Amino acid sequence: MIEIRHKSSGDLLAGLERDTLALADLREMRLAGADLAGADLRNTRLERTDLTDADLSGADLSGATLTSAALNGANLSGANLSCAKLGVSSHTQATMMQQCDLSGANLSRADLRNVEFRGSSLTGATLTRADMRRANFSNCDLSGVTAFNALFIKANLRDANLSQSNLSDSHLNDAVLISADLSGAVLESLSHEGFTVINLANLENARLNGAKLHGISAEDANFRNANLTDADLTGAVLGGAILRNANVTRTDFAGVELATVTMDFANFSQALNAEIPSYKENLR
């Protein structure tokens, strides 16, 4: 017999005649505030379950299904959500995870499409090969995350903290990164022939100071008013990119073709290794 109790009051929320919660069917159960810290929830079915404010810290949710579940305010710090299914193609059926603590959590290979993470903390989390297409990470703390080969396509990362994160070989095509903090972030490839993609991404007012962007594909990306101080853009593909009024102090542009880049009001006299076409030399 397994009893699930409220983390504060100790009230009984559910009782199950089984030895483990792994592979259990907990669909549509009301488990708000549940104490499930360290629980074995591998491959458990939790669709449409209310886990608002639940304590799932250190829990093993690998392979679990949580679509349409409510996890707002839940503590998932250090939890294992590898290969878990939280996302779907429809925004209305994805998991709600606003104001969650996912610090140090393992979300590698998880399906996070359209998941609502607004205001959550994912500091030091692992997101390698996770599918985060159209997920909402606005105002989230993703500092120090590891996200190799991850999909952030059309994700909302507005005002997110991605400082010191490692996004090598990830795809951030058409992502919203307005006013995001990417200072010290690594977006260069782990292999000689690979590259990270941020084509069409909106990085207006973003902080990219000290970011490693070697060989990145940033075609038609918007860097208007972005801070690229000390960033490494060597070998980057910037066709059609907008750097209007960007801070490019000590930004390294070695091997970058700037012919189609909008450079107005960006002071390239402070940039490194920038080969500026003659017809653009007088731009301000």
Query: Does residue 186 contact residue 167 with C-beta atoms inside 8 Å?
Result: yes
pLDDT of residue 37: 98
CB burial class (10 A; 0-12, 13-18, 19+) of residue 278? exposed
| Predicted confidence (pLDDT) at residue 91 exceeds the cutoff of 80 | no
pLDDT of residue 110: 98
pLDDT of residue 281: 58
Q: Which of 169, 170, 154, 66 is nearest to 114 (CA)?
A: 154
Count of residues making up the chain: 284
Question: pLDDT tens digit string along 114-173?
Answer: 999 999 999 999 999 999 999 999 999 999 999 999 999 999 999 999 999 999 999 999
Query: Does residue 204 contact residue 226 with C-beta atoms inside 8 Å?
Result: yes
Q: Domain residues of the chain, as ranges?
A: 22-143, 162-284
Q: Is CATH 2.160.20.80 correct for 22-143?
A: yes
CATH topology of domain 162-284: Pectate Lyase C-like (2.160.20)
Q: Residue 245: which region, alpha, beta or left (left: phi > 0; alpha: psi -120 to 50)?
A: left
pLDDT tier at 283, thresholds 50, 70, 90: low
Compute φ and ψ for 279, nearest 5 degrees. -75, 0
Question: pLDDT tens digit string along 45-66?
Answer: 999 999 999 999 999 999 999 9
Under DSSP, the state recorded for 95 is P
Distance CA 137, CA 134 (A): 9
pLDDT tier at 277, thresholds 50, 70, 90: confident
Q: Taking the CA atoms of the chain, what radius of gyration do you get in angstroms?
A: 21
| Predicted confidence (pLDDT) at residue 90 exceeds the cutoff of 90 | no
pLDDT of residue 68: 96
Query: Does residue 28 contact residue 36 with C-beta atoms inside 8 Å?
Result: no
Mean pLDDT to the nearest integer, 221-231: 98
Query: Does residue 84 contact residue 109 with C-beta atoms inside 8 Å?
Result: no
Q: Residue 12: which region, alpha, beta or left (left: phi > 0; alpha: psi -120 to 50)?
A: beta
3-state secondary structure of 16: strand
| Predicted confidence (pLDDT) at residue 282 exceeds the cutoff of 80 | no
Query: Does residue 62 contact residue 80 with C-beta atoms inside 8 Å?
Result: yes
CB count within 10 Å of CB 282 equals: 7
Mean pLDDT to the nearest integer, 252-277: 93
Q: Which of 57, 31, 35 is nearest to 45 (CA)?
A: 31
pLDDT of residue 276: 84
Of all residues in the chain, the percent with pLDDT exceeding 70 is 98
Which residue type sits at 130?
A
Q: Which residues pair with 30 in a beta bridge?
A: 50
Virtual torsion, Cα 126, 131, 136, 141, nearest 10 deg: 10
Q: Which residues pair with 258 in a beta bridge?
A: none
* 162-284 shares the fold of 22-143: yes
3-state secondary structure of 200: coil
Distance CA 70, CA 277 (A): 54
Mean pLDDT of the chain: 95
Distance CA 128, CA 106 (A): 9
Give the predicted TM-score (pTM) of the model.
0.94
